[in-house]
Amino acid sequence: MIRRAAVAALAGTALMLPFAGTSSAAAQGKELNCRTQVTDNGHYGRADCRNDTSRAIAFRAIVVCGQSFDNTGAWVTLNPGQSGWSGAPCNAPVGTGVGSVDWEEG
């Protein structure tokens, strides 16, 4: 019985850890300065990014869609000082639109 309680307590803690702390790009190991947004009546997500580093960095938008498949935008490479965007739609005919938008660097 004690073992089950300890496992349950640890499982609850593990589930809460990702929500604790900051969600800034630096905390996530990201280098681009990005702003995410939802457009087109909630059915299109995009990431607008600026490269303030001294090297080229590629990124793409990651769009989480409600009641449909998630989507990713095209890869975009930004040279130092450049800005650009990547985006993707949530296309389900009866879907609930964009749930969240993030970006991936690579």
Domains of the chain: 23-105 (2.60.40)
pLDDT tens digits, residue range 43-95? 999 999 999 999 999 999 999 999 889 999 999 999 999 999 999 999 887 78
The mean pLDDT value for 29-34 works out to: 95
- The DSSP letter of residue 17 is G
The pTM of the full predicted model, rounded to 2 decimals, is: 0.73
